[in-house]
Amino acid sequence: MEFVIAKSGGFCRGVKKAVDTALTIDPTNTYIYGEIIHNPDVVQSITERGIVMVEDLDLVPSGATLIIRSHGVGKAVYEYCEKKNIQVVDCTCEFVRRTQKIVDEQYQAGKTIIIVGEKTHPEVVGLNGWCEGKAFVFSSEDDDFSILPEKECCIVAQTTYSAEKFEKIIKNITNIYQKTVAIFKTICYTTIGRQNEAEELSKQCDAVLVIGGLNSSNTNKLYDICAKNCPNVFRLSKAADLEYKKIKRFKKVGIVTGASTPNAQTQEVLLKMEMETEAKVTSMEEVVANMDNQPKFKKGQLITATISSADDSGVAVLLPLAKKEIILDKDEVDCEVYNKDDFNAKTGEEIELMVVGINPVKLSQKQIKQIKEEEAAIAEIQAGKEFEVVCTGFNKGGLTAEFGSYTVFVPAREIRSGYVKELDKYVGKKLRLRLIELKTERRKEIIASQRVIIEEEKAAKEAAKAAKEAEFFASIHVDDVVEGKVERVTSFGAFVSVNGFDCLAHISDLSWTGVKAVTDVLEIGKKYEFKVLKIDEEAKKVSIGYKQLQAQPWDLAAEKYAEGDVIHGKVVRIVPFGAFVEVEKGIDGLVHVSQISYEFLENPTTALTIGQEIDAKILKLDCVEKKMTLSIKALEPKPENLERKPRAPKAEDGEVKEKVRKPRAQKPADEVTEWNEGGLGGVSIADLLNKNS
């Protein structure tokens, strides 16, 4: 038994884009409007990631992400999403989008819109949404076309519709329709190619297997085409549907796959057939080659060709066993500037080429050089050299990429240190890798690690940092004066780079007079000199000060002030014995209560308030003790006939009362006698009185 696989199979470009997007996008709060493709296995793998499939837009919350599948949607969906603040990830197929634009423009021009396709298919529903749902949809050449209105019309087709049926419907419409008909053949060229392949393959084979989702429109079209030419056509959605006993009697079996069929499903069918039979699997390219009686070539094969001639398009060469010349395109010649005369002079000489394409055969000399360069690069990688790739995908085990003709796999545990949960975030990012294992037996594959590079660099960085810190602490001492650059500031101080090490200058060590913000003294990016205050090598901390290298205000006071000078200052605090006046930042002088006014003051607050600005005379200046005595009254004329008021006593309630001296109370005679006896040696008062009289 021989199996022949159609050349065009698996995901088309639009479907691949949509599926890849759904498999790599962040699934958090992400929705898909309908099945992304008509394939249950693919849909399940996407929903298992946490992406929600909805048929009703009301189920999509505001702020969510909505994936528009390749079938496309109507205009109203975009308007709804914009109104509800839903982020749209549009995966509409480029051919579908082109058809949508045609429908929109023709409808705006006032024409009747005719869509040829399946009325309930999501693509057709979406197209109808670009003409307010007023399109006429026909799916058969036997439909009633008399219902069309008498005005100009525009005809488009579902991109996956049968090209043969489309032509029949167009013919029937134009035969009975009297108005102008604008026909747009919008069937996707890949769809047409698949249908033509299915047509040819089904004519050559005894039986055909059509693989794809049972609800896939394009796959069903392929089935219909094959059924017309071959009486034994079997529909499969997956490998489990294959019953070998039904096909074992056929000598030649064709395999056709739909645009929504993953390659993995086709491979599963082939694997099952290989297990149950010794069937030979042949590609469509080989079938065509055999039909043309051409020698068989394989992609990547190196062959020796003979130069026949050369012209402006390239070099004509003869291949072994080939009956005709093949052109080596000038762009595939390994030379800086192509010159046909150089090759015409080498007619009959042999040249080594690589087969880069089959049916028709395509050759390249340039790619041999690329392969040799790739082999040299692989040799360096095997020797331990680091290499870079861009991540193109992922699976449950890790990340995937490509390096020339090699596939690259990075296991999840080798991406970085620790567990990596969201592999999809690495897609499109550059990876720095080192070889773990090189496989070339069945396919060329590189197993690599990024983690080892990251860990090595981290260890090297830490070792360098430790060595630099040791050198730093060996060279610095308390009271050293060092130069440092202010790197960043906080509310509590500035971090200053001293020989590459971060030291802290606390805000309290920036100015003798105190500051509210670090930037009042230091500027980020500038260099200053600091004094080392404290070193803690164990904790890796160094404290430095800026003010310690600056003169204190009292150190300069003797140069600025002298006794007898008049200063202008501000009252900063008041105490019972006087008031302190700020002469300048860091220098305060005391005005004693007696020096505030010539009048007697019970309390300084009766004459002064905090914040009040005054002039005063320096009575005494002691810079060593940091003391300055001031007088306000010394700057005022002394009043004439100034009487000093006695201090009035205060009652407990604070009111001033007149002081009244009370006469001392006389003691009783017996008490006096007793006191006299004790204090006057027995002499009585009466005796003293008599004596005096």
Residues annotated as catalytic are 123
Count the alpha carbons within 13 Å of 131 in the hemisphere toward its beta carbon: 29
DSSP, collapsed to helix, strand or coil, labels residue 224 as helix
If one counts every other C-beta atom within 10 angstroms of the C-beta of residue 234, the result is 17
648 vs 587: CA distance, rounded Å: 36
- The CA–CA distances, whole Å, from 89 to 94, 119, 633 equal 14, 25, 84
Longest dimension (CA), the chain: 177
Radius of gyration (C-alpha) of the chain in whole angstroms: 50
Contact between 47 and 2 under an 8 Å Cβ cutoff? The reply is no
Among 320, 324, 323, which residue's Cα sits nearest to residue 351? 320
In what helix (H) or strand (E) does residue 525 lie, and over which residues does it extend?
Answer: none
How are beta strands 387-390 and 393-394 bridged, if at all? Answer: unpaired
Tokens of 464: 């360098």
If one counts every other C-beta atom within 10 angstroms of the C-beta of residue 561, the result is 18
DSSP, collapsed to helix, strand or coil, labels residue 669 as helix
In terms of DSSP H, where are the helices of 147-216? Answer: 163-176, 189-204
Beta strands in 358-506 (DSSP E): 362-364, 387-390, 393-394, 398-403, 406-411, 430-439, 445-449, 481-489, 493-498, 501-506
DSSP, collapsed to helix, strand or coil, labels residue 242 as coil
